[in-house]
């Protein structure tokens, strides 16, 4: 039972009292983006005063500077941290829901400490070797899930800044591959680059077909 008023570590403490420690939290970043990788992270935290991470919360509620600070502190104080990326072409192949599930599984399996229980944000992840629980808005109510959301978000944002160096015309350093008006305007003008996700309708409709291509053949991106 989760005792009310126990704060962000309430889930971990309740599960620990039930003999289900350590507890890992898992979350992803980039599911809604139409370019770049999907990144998932898994974190096991230590609930001791010396290793408590103050100010931890859902990454979406933090500024970039706060996320960077918390990211460094999580890496320093956590019992275990792991992350994985699922590249755009694998997202296209699997579909976003399956890509999301696989990313979370892979991140959890990469932890160098085996959890006894797993908390995930929003929906359950099957195929794990340990029991788990999907928590609605888990990144706002469970410390380990909030930490995973920060690690996933910071890691992916940094990857998108690197992709900006290769494709500066799209502004990945600003919108991080999400479907903003500015991003769509560049897509409409330029068409997609190799890191866009073709399963998204707003991307697929901007592909330019080579004139004279055989009917029914796959679209081919014209050189820019």
pLDDT on residue 98: 96
Percent of the chain with pLDDT over 90: 79
pLDDT band of residue 76 (cuts 50, 70, 90) is very high
pLDDT on residue 218: 41
Interval 13-24 mean pLDDT: 95
Q: What are the distances in angstroms from CA 193 to CA 32, 33, 110, 178, 188?
A: 18, 14, 31, 14, 12
Strands 80-86 and 117-121: unpaired
Q: Which of 38, 164, 57, 142 is nearest to 100 (CA)?
A: 38
pLDDT on residue 47: 81
Check pLDDT > 50 for residue 213.
Answer: no
Q: Which span out of 5-14, 181-190, 200-209 was modeled with the highest average pLDDT?
A: 181-190
pTM of this structure: 0.90
The angle at the Cα of 5, spanning 146 to 111, to the nearest 5 degrees, equals 30
Check pLDDT > 90 for residue 212.
Answer: no
Number of H helices, E strands in the chain: 9, 5
Alpha carbon 166 to chain centroid distance?
22
Check pLDDT > 80 for residue 24.
Answer: yes
160 versus 209: which is more confidently predicted?
160
Strands 23-29 and 117-121: parallel
Domains and CATH numbers, the chain: 7-160 (3.30.420.10), 168-204 (no CATH)
pLDDT on residue 209: 52
Sort 18 into a burial class: Cβ within 10 Å, 0-12 / 13-18 / 19+.
Answer: exposed
């Amino acid at each position: 039972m989760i005792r009310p008023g126990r704060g962000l570590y309430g889930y971990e403490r309740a599960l620990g009292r039930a003999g289900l420690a350590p507890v890992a939290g898992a979350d992803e970043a980039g599911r809604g983006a139409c370019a770049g990788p999907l990144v998932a992270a898994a974190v096991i935290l230590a609930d001791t005063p010396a290793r408590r991470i103050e100010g931890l919360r859902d990454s979406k509620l933090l500024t970039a500077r706060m996320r960077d600070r918390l990211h460094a502190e999580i890496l320093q104080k956590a019992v275990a941290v792991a992350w994985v990326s699922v590249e755009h072409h694998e997202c296209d192949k699997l579909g976003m829901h399956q890509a999301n599930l696989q990313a979370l599984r892979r991140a959890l399996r990469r932890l160098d400490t085996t959890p006894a229980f797993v908390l995930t944000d929003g929906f359950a992840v099957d195929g794990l070797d340990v029991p788990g629980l999907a928590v609605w808005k888990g990144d706002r109510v469970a410390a380990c899930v909030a930490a995973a959301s920060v690690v996933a978000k910071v890691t992916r944002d940094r990857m998108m800044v690197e992709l900006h160096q290769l494709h500066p015309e799209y502004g990945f350093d600003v919108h991080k591959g999400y479907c903003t008006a500015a991003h769509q305007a560049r897509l409409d003008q330029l068409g997609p680059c190799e890191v866009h996700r073709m399963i998204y309708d707003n991307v697929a409709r901007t592909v330019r077909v080579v004139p004279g291509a055989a009917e029914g053949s796959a679209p081919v991106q014209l050189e820019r």
